[in-house]
Structure 1
Amino acid sequence: MKAVTLNFTTSSKLKLEDVPVRPLENGEVLVAIKAAALNHRDEWCRQGLYPNINEGVILGSDGSGIVEEVAEGIDLGWIGKEVIINPAINWGEDQKVQSKDFQILGMPRNGTLAEKVIVSVDRLHLKPKHLSFEEAGALPLAGLTAFRALFYQGQLKSNEKVLITGFGGGVAQFAFQFAKAAGAKVYASSSSEEKRNVAKELGAISVYDYTKEDWVENALKESEGFDLIIDSAAGDALNNLINVVKPGGKIVFYGATRGNPSTLIARKVFWNQIKIIGTTMGSDQDFEEMVSFIKDHEIKPIIDHVFTFEQAEEAFDRMKAGKQLGKIVLTP
């Protein structure tokens, strides 16, 4: 089968090559991939910045497709089913936090940027009927991360004011749509005028350019503070978020693309009883609830661009440059 593998001998650190399909083991199924999608972790793997790098691995965590084969003892009714794949592996029994054996599909084990992928049958969920394969393939990792950040960690309620930072990225666009569907008053920030305009079109009450010095002042004036902020950047910008969250409010962050903050206005955190919460991916319970939420509200992922596997380098470079608005999808 054709697959996009991590290969540090090539200039792009990627290689489209023929990879054999191994026999199925107990509890496994073979899914013919119809669409896969990129996440930032794929690019970090390409740059060698992700832990437990395994050269030669097939990248990709997100995928949708059709079940082609099942191991002995698995219900044959799965064959021919249109499915999406939960990429969170070995979360464990504790809803509060993942187990020490937690992994994400696509590193260190083979992922979805291939014509076929082998996964445990318990990772399968029926594809929501209102989604195309491309839309469904864009859903799993980012949708799960956004759902847990908003509803489990953030405890979002209807009519609360929520700020989604970095609008345009995969998780951020899901968080925006989920919050809107839940009846929240949604605001967004982005350094891109194009992305801010799209957020307005999708119903943002206000949008902010976080590169402008007066954005904090403007946000406070317009919102009177946010009940919940969903962020992926951290860094020194975290202090700006502390300044715009309401007393008693929550800041939930699922990434640190700007690194650690050099300073932290700790006095404001404790005096205003602000909760700063970390989150990543989500449990099997979160995934099931996310899929149900998607179905109930007929939410469709924003697709930035669809590439073929042969165009993998172009797709990865687009993500690296931060040009995408929504999810970058690849098809075999």
Structure 2
Amino acid sequence: MKRILFCVSFLWLSLTSFASTTDSVYLFSYFVGNGEDGLHLASSEDGFTWNAIARQSTFLQPELSPDKLMRDPCIIRGKDNKFHMVWTVSWTQRGIGYAHSDDLVNWSPQQYLPVMEHEPKARNTWAPEITYDPANDEYMLYWATTITDAYPETLVQEEKAYNHRMYYVTTKDFQTFSETKLLYEPGFNSIDATIQPDNGRWLMFIKDETRVPVQKNLKMAFADKLTGPYSAASAPITGKYWAEGPTVLKIDGLWIVYFDKYTEHKYGAIQSRDLKTWEDVSDKVKLPKGLRHGTVFKVSKAEFQKVLSAN
């Protein structure tokens, strides 16, 4: 019985998150500049051509932390049919931002989640994401943090000696949270994880942030449970450029990974049907100018029209 429920839950997650239908529109949550002006959205019907949704102001202006930033906005549709969002509030705070919405226009009060405040040597909490776990009916929030003196074997002095690993908490209601735990220790400086279901297992895309010798590419890891343990990281799936901030769509069996070619000030994309052979399709993808690190997700056309009509 548990196995049947598990499979049904994964089917629900796949249908609500990835399947393409004639009644759906894809949205891309993102920030521009340093994240000072808040949440931006772009839309696409095919996953390749994206158009910014113009508004007199952004969809949500940042209020948290002394820095008042809204970087790396990650939005998912929850089991409750609400849109749940987390984001980076600061370069140096030990917590992340959270808000929810029924329509992507009207948002709840912003909350500061102190996920690393218990760790005095934590230097940051960057690029948080949310993934829903149907097996346990809970959400996992995860992010990258550098803890001073942790993992000295991968520490270098370049880039301010940041040396990230992925950490997480779980919650059923976004009101009470588990204790913070280590999610993934791949043996290298790592950041920008995003996790998707894949035929009864979990697939993590993650950036290898190693500066010496330089990596700065995207890799994959797999696990039977959302909270791990995850496998050793794969070989790089991106090219000789520097890549970060992956977000993923699966459309009719085709995996598309979008990422920021940040040193080139443009976005790239790769695609695969088997997660083994990857094709660069950067020249086929059109994204709004200035778009930076965010998340792709799906809405109905009726929901999309409400977003367009609100201003």
Larger Rg: 1
Instruction: Determine which structure has the larger helix proportion and give its number.
Output: 1
TM over 0.5: no
Q: Report the TM-score, using the length of structure 2 for normalisation.
A: 0.29
Which structure carries more strand by proportion?
Answer: 2
